[in-house]
Structure 1
């Protein structure tokens, strides 16, 4: 069965983040400043992980992964002008380290603004999926956090990151991960693109298998606070972790689980 990926619905609709009804704009993930957008083929993640020999043709996108799902304010005023610049600066600094021809230490620190970085991340993953505004208690708190830069990161949400020296772009929301040793599932969102990967988890993630950095210490930091963000350059998780099931884990995905390759 072919799984169709929708990236563009009506030009008029409900913003995936704030719920405002009106003209919708295209959101690029990652934002354009992180890389040079190129033509990509977008497919459901299940085709990549199943090793299908002749998967059906995916959706072609001329300028990277993008969704027409956000209102002008969320996409341009908040993401483009306020949250994306620190996100882009952090991502590009990580890329410089991964591209460096010299021998690097096991870990480095990169100055960055945790609060705009996390808000940018949540905004771009929220843009994924056509007509996906519908909110629950946890995502309502995330919406309010995005719209009001004085709020702390909502309780129950944890944001992890790690170096990702690979070219396969992976993006998903509404997924669940269960480690068989404890049988305690947790919901998560995931965004991976060169040079960094982010995992947003609800509840306490158990059985992640790899030591990851997170933004926990800056949960209540002011919006313009600059921190030294640690980044490990050794013991990096493998290419298809955590989205590929293993002998010790079970993964469940929704419709919005994609990979994109140039």
Structure 2
């Protein structure tokens, strides 16, 4: 018998303790990776341990609009992480633009250089890692 991924536990909850500030409150959806870095679409989800478990097959969660967790409160999602997501968005957009130029022949050198605010980018990435559930 195939069991269902544990991922459903992190999508179905409404209230809980915020992984960032620790406050008990209504939890919001936090896309991982952030929406600004990807094109949202259907994705099959398993936890890392379920993915690498070869003994017992696990049926993935079928997410219709990207991978997200309900593990952080509205304040942390919108005020703390939301303001920092611009740093991720700028790097992602610049990378995609430069890659597209190379792939279409507009740029002949296969080198991508992206100046960015490393502190804001790192804070944003660490915030999204912290928002992931702890098993």
- In the alignment, what sits opposite 2:111? 107
Q: Give ranges in structure 2 of 5+ residues lacking alignment.
A: none
TM-score (norm 1): 0.43
Q: Distance in 1 between matches of 2:121 and 2:108?
A: 24
Do 1:7 and 1:128's aligned partners in 2 also have CA atoms closer than 8 Å? no
Matches within 5 A, 1:87-236: 87-100=88-101, 101=103, 102=105, 104-129=108-133, 132=134
- In the alignment, what sits opposite 2:86? 85
Deviation at 1:65, TM superposition (A): 0.7
The answer to whether structure 1 residue 28 and structure 2 residue 31 are counterparts is yes
Which runs of 4 or more aligned residues in structure 1 lie more than 6 Å from their structure 2 counterparts after TM superposition? none
- Which deviations, in whole Å up to 9, do the C-alpha atoms of 1:22-73 show, x marking residues without a partner? 11111011221222211111023356557x6x94320111211100111111
Do 1:67 and 1:127's aligned partners in 2 also have CA atoms closer than 8 Å? yes
- Which deviations, in whole Å up to 9, do the C-alpha atoms of 1:128-187 show, x marking residues without a partner? 11xx4xxxxxxxxxxxxxxxxxxxxxxxxxxxxxxxxxxxxxxxxxxxxxxxxxxxxxxx
Secondary structure of 1:110 counterpart: coil
Secondary structure of 1:25 counterpart: strand
Which structure's residues are more often helix, by fraction?
A: 2
1:46–1:12 CA distance, 2 compared to 1 (3 A): closer
Which structure's residues are more often strand, by fraction?
A: 1
Secondary structure of 1:123 counterpart: helix
Q: What count of residue pairs does the alignment treat as equivalent?
A: 128
- Which one scores higher on RCO, CA 8 angstroms, separation ≥ 6? 2
1:89–1:58 CA distance, 2 compared to 1 (3 A): same
Q: Give ranges in structure 1 of 5+ residues lacking alignment.
A: 133-254, 256-262
Deviation at 1:94, TM superposition (A): 1.4
Deviation at 1:107, TM superposition (A): 3.0
1:105–1:47 CA distance, 2 compared to 1 (3 A): farther
Secondary structure of 1:64 counterpart: coil
Q: Distance in 1 between matches of 2:18 and 2:31?
A: 15
Cα RMSD over matched residues? 2.5
Do 1:24 and 1:70's aligned partners in 2 also have CA atoms closer than 8 Å? yes
